[in-house]
């Protein structure tokens, strides 16, 4: 007698959806995926369903994570290739090994010579296609080991530079030693590395004290779900089995 497998009941998540999430500080992108998937499986009464994210966001960062469910997991790379916009705050005059607040300040540098005009001129040199060295405190694969694992063991390995695209950098605020920027960039760009390089170009040092992703292509973090919303959102969508589609599911991709 052939054992019948339990089939997933028809639902919009299996058909494929994009779900816009506003990730809180301290959560990893995988934390977001795992929480959403667990609640979705529980609501559907099944053991597994495909859910993935279209771009990692550091635990200390907040903002937009696009979840792809069901058949839309095949479109993850499509979303990853879209331009991304970040709001970030640089602290000039000090560096950290991770280029952000994950690690303690390891060196201090003068910043009194820096002016807003200098910052504007330096930033112009970072717009376009640039070569960038990823931070060692990152998930880059080094011979089967994550770079951050090597970093935490005290390695001073420098990762190879790669080409990334910076579409635009806008200055939002200059109150030295802080500089607030809005950066629009392509896939694979590390804003932490950008901060390091801007600090060096200014004859100083810099690290990030805030990072928030606000846009990925036409996806916008405004109105995004926080983890506390997941359960109600899932239930509401499952209750809409009348052929209606959500605004998130209708997002146009370019």
CA 246 – CA 226 distance, rounded (Å): 17
Residue found under tokens 């998930």: 139
Residues in Cβ contact with 165 at an 8 Å cutoff, skipping those fewer than 6 apart:
128, 129, 130, 185, 186, 189
Told to judge if 58 belongs to the known catalytic residues of this protein, a careful annotator would answer yes
Catalytic residue among 58, 106, 156, 168: 58
> Do residues 183 and 165 make contact, with C-beta atoms less than 8 angstroms apart?
no
Of 120, 90, 95, nearest in space to 108 by CA: 95
Residue found under tokens 């007698």: 1
Measuring CA to CA, how many Å separate 62 from each of 18, 32, 75, 220?
A: 19, 12, 23, 13
DSSP string, 199-231: HHHTTS-EEEEEEEEEEETTEESTTPBPGGGHH
Active site residues: 58
């Amino acid at each position: 007698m052939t054992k019948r497998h339990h089939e997933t009941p028809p639902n919009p998540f299996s058909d494929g959806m994009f779900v816009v999430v506003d990730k809180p500080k301290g959560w990893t992108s995988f934390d977001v995926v795992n929480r959403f998937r667990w609640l979705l499986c529980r609501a559907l009464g099944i053991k597994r369903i495909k859910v993935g994210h279209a771009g990692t966001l550091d635990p200390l960062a907040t903002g937009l994570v696009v979840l792809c469910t069901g058949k839309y997991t095949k479109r993850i790379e499509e979303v990853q290739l879209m331009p991304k916009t970040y709001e970030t705050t640089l602290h000039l005059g000090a560096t950290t090994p991770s280029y952000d607040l994950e690690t303690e300040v390891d060196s201090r540098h003068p910043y009194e010579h820096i002016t807003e005009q200098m910052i504007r001129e330096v930033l112009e040199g970072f717009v376009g296609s640039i070569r960038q060295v990823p931070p060692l405190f990152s998930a880059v694969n080094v011979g089967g080991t994550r770079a951050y694992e090597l970093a935490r063991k005290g390695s001073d390995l420098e990762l190879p530079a790669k080409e990334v695209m910076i579409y635009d950098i806008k200055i939002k605020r200059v109150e030295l030693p802080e500089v607030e920027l809005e950066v629009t960039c392509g896939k694979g760009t590390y804003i932490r590395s950008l901060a390091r390089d801007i600090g060096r170009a200014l004859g100083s040092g810099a690290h990030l004290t805030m990072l928030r992703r606000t846009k990925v292509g036409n996806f916008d973090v405004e109105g995004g779900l926080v983890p506390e919303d997941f359960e109600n959102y899932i239930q509401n969508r499952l209750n809409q089995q009348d052929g209606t589609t959500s605004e998130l599911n209708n997002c146009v991709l370019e």
